[in-house]
Amino acid sequence: MPAACESVLEDIEDIVSAEDLKPHDRQFVRKNVFPKVRKRNSQKNVQTDDEPPSDSIIPGVQKIWIRTWGCSHNNSDGEYMAGQLAAYGYKITDNSAEADLWLLNSCTVKNPAEDHFRNAIKKAQEGKKKVVLAGCVPQAQPRQEYLKGLSIIGVQQIDRVVEVVEETIKGHSVRLLGQKKDNGKRLGGARLDLPKIRKNPLIEIISINTGCLNACTYCKTKHARGDLASYPIEELVDRAKQSFQEGVCEIWLTSEDTGAYGRDIGTDLPTLLWKLVEVIPEGAMLRLGMTNPPYILEHLEEMAKILNHPRVYAFLHIPVQSASDSVLMDMKREYCVADFKQVVDFLKEKVPGITIATDIICGFPGETDEDFQETMKLVELYRFPSLFINQFYPRPGTPAAKMPQVPAAVKKQRTKDLSQLFHSYNPYDHKVGERQRVLVTEESFDSNYYVAHNPFYEQVLVPKEPLLMGKMVEVSIYEAGKHFMKGQPVSDARVHTASITRPLAKGEVSGLTEEFRRAPQNGTNWKAQHSAEIPVKTRLSSWMALQLPWQQGGGLKILSVSLALLAVLVMFYYGGMKTEL
Enumerate the CATH 3.80.30.20 domain ranges in the chain, comma separated.
Answer: 185-361
- pLDDT of the residue at 76: 92
The one-digit pLDDT tens for each residue of the chain (581 residues) are: 444 444 443 333 333 444 444 444 444 444 454 555 555 554 444 444 455 555 567 778 899 999 999 888 889 999 999 999 999 999 999 999 999 999 999 988 887 888 999 999 999 999 999 999 999 888 888 888 999 999 999 888 999 999 999 999 999 999 988 887 777 777 777 889 999 999 999 999 999 999 888 889 999 888 888 889 999 999 999 999 999 999 999 999 999 899 999 999 999 999 999 999 999 999 999 999 999 999 899 999 999 999 999 999 999 999 999 999 999 999 999 999 999 999 999 999 999 999 999 999 999 999 999 999 999 999 999 999 999 999 999 998 899 999 999 999 999 999 999 999 999 999 999 999 999 999 999 999 999 999 999 999 999 999 999 999 999 999 999 999 999 999 999 988 788 899 999 999 999 999 875 555 555 544 333 333 333 333 433 332 333 334 455 554 444 444 455 566 666 565 655 555 444 44
Terminal-residue alpha carbon distance, the chain: 28
- What is each CA distance from 396 to 178, 360, 391, 399, 403, in whole angstroms? 22, 20, 16, 9, 12
User: Which pLDDT value is given to residue 28?
Assistant: 47
C-alpha dihedral sign at 211, 216, 218, 223:
positive
Query: Which listed CATH number (3.30.1280.10, 3.40.1830.10, 3.40.50.12160, 3.40.50.1000) goes with 63-182?
Result: 3.40.50.12160
CB 461 within 8 A of CB 444: yes
* Other beta carbons within 10 Å of 493: 14
430-497 domain in CATH 3.40.50.300? Answer: no
Q: Are 157 and 133 in contact (CB under 8 A)?
A: no
Q: Cα separation of 344 and 303, whole Å?
A: 12
3-state secondary structure of 395: coil
- Measuring CA to CA, which residue among 418, 399, 335, 403 is closest to residue 367? 403
- Asked whether the beta carbons of 87 and 512 are under 8 A apart, the reply is yes
Is residue 314 helix, strand or coil? coil
Angle at 339 between CA 338 and CA 344, to 5 degrees: 95
| Contact in structure between 22 and 576 (CB atoms under 8 Å) | yes
For residue 511, what pLDDT is reported? 81
Non-local CB neighbours of 298 within 8 Å, separated by 6+ positions: 268
Which one, of 237, 99, 79, lies nearest residue 158 by Cα? Answer: 79
The model carries a pTM of 0.79
Identify any residues that bridge with 485 across adjacent strands, giving them in sequence order: 460, 480
Residue 113's pLDDT is: 86
Residue by residue, DSSP assigns 474-533 as EEEEEEE-SS-EEEEE-TTPPPEE--SSPPPPTTPPBT--HHHHHGGG-GGGGEEEPPTT
pLDDT of 39: 53
Burial code (b: 16+ CB inside 10 Å, e: under 16) for 386-419 equals bbebbbbbbbeebbbeeeebbeeeebeebbeebe
Residue 57, exposed/middle/buried by CB under 10 A (0-12, 13-18, 19+)? middle
Which string of DSSP letters, residue by residue, matches 87-155? HHTPEEES-TTT-SEEEEEE--SSHHHHHHHHHHHHHHHHTT-EEEEEEHHHHH-TT-GGGTT-EEE-T
Architecture of domain 185-361: Alpha-Beta Horseshoe (3.80)
> Residues with Cβ < 8 Å from 455, sequence gap 6 or more?
310, 313, 314, 353, 436, 437
Query: Mind spelling out the 3-state secondary structure of 50-106?
Result: CCCCHHHCCCCCCEEEEEECCCHHHHHHHHHHHHHHHHHCCEEECCCCCCCEEEEEE
CATH 3.40.50.12160 maps onto the chain at 63-182
Separation of alpha carbons 165 and 154, rounded Å = 13
